[in-house]
Amino acid sequence: MLKPDKSAQMSVALGILASWVASALFIGAYYHHVPSPAGLPVFKSWAASLAVPLLSLIIGIGLAARHRFFDSRMDGSAPDKGDPLDIILRYNQNTMEQLVIFAGAAALALALMPETAARLLPGMSLWFGVMRLAFYLGYKKSPTLRAFGFAGTFHPTLLLFFAALGSLIASHG
C-alpha cells in the first residue's frame, strides 16, 4: 500500500471543507431567496432539475469528441495519463456517476418530501453545474484540486438522499 502524500491530503481536505461552506451558502441562499416554482407537477420538477446536470455531461462528451476529432486518437484509443483528453474522460465518468446519484436522490426527495424538494432542486441543479465546472478546472490545474468540485456535487446530493430516506423512515415509524 502506498503512503499518502500529506500535502495532497491537506489540499483535498481543504477543498472538501471549502465546498461544504460554499454549498451551504449557495443552496441555502437559493432556497431562502428564490421563490419556488408554483404548481409544477412532480415529474416536471424532477425533469427540470436534471437539465443542468445533463448539460454538464453533454458538454464533457462534446469536449471529448472535439479532442478526438483533432487528434490521432480518433480511433478511440486511450489517452496518456494527464493528457487533456484523459482529464475530460475522467470528468465525464465522474459526472455520469454524480448525475445518476443526483437523479435518484431528486426523484426520491420529490416523492417523499415534495414541497421541500421543489424548493431545493432548482438551486441544487444550478450548483451541480457550477461544481462540475470547478471539478474540471481544478482537475486541469492539479488532480488534488478537483476535490472542491467533487465534494460540492457529491455531498449536497448525499444530504438530499439521506433527508429523503429519513422522511421515508419517519413516515413509517
Residues 6+ apart with CB under 8 A from 103: 46, 50, 53
Q: What is the pLDDT of residues 93-115, one digit of tens each?
A: 999 999 999 999 999 999 999 98
Residue 117 is placed in which grid cell? Answer: 424538494
Task: Name the residue with cell 484523459.
Answer: 86
The DSSP call for residue 71 is: S
- pLDDT above 90 covers a percentage of the chain that reads 76
pLDDT band (50, 70, 90) for residue 90 = very high
Q: What is the pLDDT of residue 121?
A: 94
Quick check: 165 pLDDT over 80? yes
Mean pLDDT over all residues of the chain?
93
DSSP codes of every residue in 39-56: T--HHHHHHHHTHHHHHH
Q: Which domains does the chain have, with CATH numbers?
A: 39-171 (1.20.120.550)
| Three-class SS state of 173 | coil
Q: What is the pLDDT of residues 27-77, one digit of tens each?
A: 999 999 988 777 777 888 899 999 999 999 999 999 999 998 888 777 778
- Predicted TM-score (pTM) of the model is 0.92
Q: How would you class 150 by CB atoms within 10 Å of its CB: exposed for 0-12, middle for 13-18, buried for 19 or more?
A: buried
Arithmetic mean of pLDDT, 76-91: 90
Tell me how many degrees the CA angle 120-99-86 measures, rounded to the nearest 5. 135
d(CA 101, CA 84): 26
**CA distances for 88 relative to 4, 61, 75, 80, angstroms:** 25, 8, 17, 12
- pLDDT above 70 covers a percentage of the chain that reads 99
* 128 C-beta neighbours (distance < 10 Å), count: 29
Q: What is the pLDDT of residue 137?
A: 97
Residue 91 in contact with residue 56, Cβ under 8 Å?
Answer: no
- Comparing 108 with 82, the larger pLDDT belongs to 108
Q: What is the pLDDT of residue 41?
A: 79
- Comparing 1 with 5, the larger pLDDT belongs to 5
Write the single-letter amino acid at 92. N
| CA 112 from centre of chain | 22
Q: What is the pLDDT of residue 169?
A: 93
d(CA 28, CA 134): 19
Quick check: 15 pLDDT over 90? yes
